Amino acid sequence: MDYKTHIMRAIDYIESNLKNEIRLSDCARASGYSDYHFIRVFREVTGLTPADYIRKRRLTEIIKRMQQEVPISEIAFEFGFNSKENFIRAFVSEHHILPTEYRSALNSLKLYEAIRFEAPPFELLPEFVHLEPFAVVAYKSDEDYPPSFWNKYNSRKWSKRLSGGKVCEDYGVSSWNWQENRLDYYIGIRKENALGDTDGTVEIMIQGGLYAVFTTPRTSHFDFVNTIHRTWDYINSKWLPNSRYRRREGFEFESYIEESRTFSEKIYIPLEGE
């Protein structure tokens, strides 16, 4: 059975009613399923419950309007949040920063556009470079999800805290912690630029050697984080398995200057030949 066709009808219904009350029964009816089967199939196809999808979509549309000179509470009310407190609670739960922090910094957030099941093909060719070793002074993430830590780092201007006020390239550095079966993630700047407050940081040595460097396609403020995710997925699921290289032990990292507003970053994968 073509579940996606049925679920797409419900998604179209949701998208047409983001500013209205959306009842589960109406979504199920649009899809042609009973309430019970609609919830099960929707989650199987999208990875989200209908309620999660509606909340993420509403928050995304609110965020797109937060650059306007309109009170945040007024925008949130337009999309069905009946109190400022409920909106703030939902925003913090999703992005781990306050709405006011985002509006002040306008940092890149992971947003959720309307689901479309037919995605265009995605392909990137890397540049191969040999790097000399260098050190990064960084904060260790206290989040399970790296974009949530980037939200804190960018909205609270920790890069300039580290540099003493200078705009610097930021590095998101990661390695797999086999003992704890988790990703260790850090964000910071190169050691030579760390001339400010470095309390609470660690120093990470990036090994020299061969790296594949993927430059993410330039995109918009609102699709930047999703484009980064698509690039990582492509590297891990398509490029590496079909290349003549192996991932070398050591830190992988991504780099970007937030204030550049170019909405493209570089991803560095340490390599060794087959």
Name the domain count of the chain: 2
User: Residue 69: its pLDDT value, please?
Assistant: 83
pLDDT for 119: 76
Read off the pLDDT of each residue in 142-165 and give the average, rounded to a whole number: 96
> What is the residue-wise DSSP string for the chain?
--HHHHHHHHHHHHHHTTTS---HHHHHHHHTS-HHHHHHHHHHHHSS-HHHHHHHHHHHHHHHHTTSSS-HHHHHHHTT--SHHHHHHHHHHHHSS-HHHHHHH-------PPP-S-PPP---PPEEEEEPPEEEEEEEP-SSSHHHHHHHHHHTTHHHHHHTS----EEEEEEEETTTTEEEEEEEEEGGG--S--TT-EEEEEPPEEEEEEEPPP--TTTHHHHHHHHHHHIIIIIHHHSSEEEPSS-EEEEE-GGG-----EEEEEEEE-
1 pLDDT band, cuts 50/70/90, is low
In a domain, 223, yes or no: yes
On whether both 12 and 58 belong to a single domain, the answer is yes
The verdict on 152 and 269 lying in the same domain is yes
Residues 168 and 99 in one domain: no
Q: What is the mean pLDDT of residues 107-115?
A: 93
**Do both 39 and 160 map to the same domain?**
no
Domain with 231 in it: what CATH number? 3.20.80.10
Residue 267 lies in a domain: yes
In this prediction, residue 236 carries a pLDDT of: 95
Q: What is the mean pLDDT of the chain?
A: 94
Q: Domain ends where: 47, 75, 105?
A: 105
Domain that holds residue 59: 3-105
